[in-house]
């Protein structure tokens, strides 16, 4: 009996160890910034502090190519996009070890490679190349289902730092942002690529567009897509059913690059951009048959500007990296715009900071490749651990992902995956 009990204990321990090695097949981070595009992970039971050298490395994989695209996960697979020698490719890899399953060409190679993160929707995966080539592929084998071009099909012009938007899939619609005068935003049939509607937004083809990604809002009880565009257009709300422009607010956008994904909080929209611009809180309300957006407050760049690392909303608080290309940790109360903590300190890394939230902690990925674990408590700023990526091939900009007890960090051609589950 004693032997059997001991054996059972060892077997149980082995099962626990193995369970920590391979992530569950139902792990899902299907699109840019996660299921709700809010950079909030549902994970629990994660490390609350890190060892001196950081969490253990589960595995690393090479061959992803150049680019700043992040990763998405679903169905036991991981997807990303990168620039290889003969073009830009969408790749599918095994979730347990990063081994390549298939790759499909998106379009010609250009610049630093794709910055757009793929979007998974059931049996389809969508990817945008740096030149505006939109690919819809079958998740099973990577075979192209349909293709569109932002420039050839919709009259778009490639932005200074290439197209970076990650398409949004909403039911049977794929929402993309070609940024032309006639087709600033478009809705395409998910299965065929046929145009459902086009929206021409005044100054929608202006400078500074092409870098942000749309999100869904039910503000003022109207389903709409909120997107940040460039100078002269700003942040807009487009009705989901027919593409009608419902509202726009210009002050928060700039003519160089308007980048962060807007934050949705019920009838409220929080938006920020860099290059000395600032941040705004808008409230949406019914306006006849339409919707109006009213400014609740505007924060100057000295108070809060998020360059391109993104923001996280937790309850009534916004967390992000503040200052243009700096990533100073900051916590701001949404309802008032007041700084709760931070904003005036460098933090452990240098350059901008891309962030994600999981289990009470903020993961800051700095431009220099340093990763910091920061307590999300509003009582004060506390760092709970840091480590640095083994190799950094230029600006370390790809957004981090935390799901299934693992931290995924794309660093150009290499994917680093860390085990952050508490033991």
Q: What tens digit of pLDDT does each residue of 239-282 get?
A: 999 999 999 999 999 999 999 999 999 999 999 999 999 999 99
Distance CA 145, CA 151 (A): 19
Q: Which two tokens stand for residue 359?
A: 């289990």
* Residue 203 pLDDT level (bands cut at 50, 70, 90): confident
Quick one: pLDDT at residue 204? Answer: 73
Distance CA 82, CA 65 (A): 4
Quick one: pLDDT at residue 111? Answer: 86
- Strand pairing category for 401-403 and 383-388: unpaired
pLDDT at 29 over 70: yes
pTM over the 0.85 mark: yes
pLDDT at 205 over 80: no
* Residue 24 pLDDT level (bands cut at 50, 70, 90): low
Quick one: pLDDT at residue 22? Answer: 60
State percent of the chain over pLDDT 90: 90
* Residue 361 pLDDT level (bands cut at 50, 70, 90): very high
* Residue 6 pLDDT level (bands cut at 50, 70, 90): very low
Nearest CA among 211, 230, 123 for reference residue 164: 211
pLDDT at 124 over 50: yes
DSSP E strand stretches across 315-396? 317-322, 328-333, 339-342, 353-358, 361-366, 370-375, 383-388
pLDDT at 399 over 80: yes
> Mean pLDDT, to the nearest integer, of 196-206?
87
Asked if 162 contacts 110 with a C-beta cutoff of 8 angstroms, the reply is: yes
Nearest CA among 250, 346, 347, 345 for reference residue 293: 250
Nearest CA among 221, 218, 127 for reference residue 174: 127
Quick one: pLDDT at residue 10? Answer: 39
């Amino acid at each position: 009996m004693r032997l059997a009990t001991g054996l059972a204990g060892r077997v149980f321990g082995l099962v626990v160890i193995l369970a920590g090695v391979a992530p569950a097949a139902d792990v899902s981070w299907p699109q840019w910034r996660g299921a709700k595009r809010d950079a909030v992970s549902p994970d629990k039971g994660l490390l609350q502090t890190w060892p001196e050298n950081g969490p253990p490395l589960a595995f690393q994989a090479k061959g992803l190519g150049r680019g700043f695209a992040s990763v998405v996960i679903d169905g036991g697979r991981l997807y990303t996009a990168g620039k290889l020698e003969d073009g830009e490719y969408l790749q599918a890899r095994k979730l347990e070890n990063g081994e390549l399953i298939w790759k499909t060409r998106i379009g010609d190679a250009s610049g630093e490679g794709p910055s757009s993160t793929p979007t998974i929707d059931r049996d389809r995966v969508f990817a945008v190349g740096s030149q505006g080539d939109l690919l819809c592929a079958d998740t099973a084998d990577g075979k192209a289902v349909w293709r569109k071009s932002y420039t050839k099909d919709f009259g778009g012009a490639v932005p200074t730092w290439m197209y970076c938007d990650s398409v949004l899939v909403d039911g049977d619609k794929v929402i993309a942002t070609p940024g032309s005068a006639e087709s600033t935003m478009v809705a395409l049939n998910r299965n065929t690529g046929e145009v459902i509607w086009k929206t021409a937004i005044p100054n929608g083809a202006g400078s500074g567009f092409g870098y942000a990604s749309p999100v869904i809002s039910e503000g003022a009880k109207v389903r709409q897509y909120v997107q940040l565009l460039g100078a002269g257009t700003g942040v807009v709300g487009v009705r989901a059913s027919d593409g009608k422009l419902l509202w726009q607010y210009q002050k928060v956008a700039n003519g160089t690059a308007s980048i962060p994904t807007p934050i949705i909080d019920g009838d409220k929209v929080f938006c920020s951009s860099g290059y000395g611009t600032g941040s705004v809180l808008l409230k949406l309300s019914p306006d006849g048959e339409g919707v109006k957006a009213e400014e609740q407050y505007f924060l100057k760049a000295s108070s809060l500007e998020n360059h391109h690392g993104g923001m996280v909303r937790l309850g009534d608080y916004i967390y992000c990296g503040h200052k243009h290309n700096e990533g100073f940790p900051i916590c701001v109360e949404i309802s008032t715009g007041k700084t709760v903590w931070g904003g005036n300190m460098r933090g452990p890394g240098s350059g901008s900071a891309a962030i994600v939230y999981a289990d009470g902690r903020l993961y800051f990925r700095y431009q220099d490749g340093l990763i910091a674990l920061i307590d999300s408590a509003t009582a004060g700023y506390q760092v709970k651990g840091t480590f640095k990526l083994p190799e950094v091939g230029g600006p370390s900009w790809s957004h981090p992902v935390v799901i299934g007890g693992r931290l995924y960090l794309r660093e150009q051609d290499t994917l680093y995956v860390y085990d952050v589950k508490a033991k």
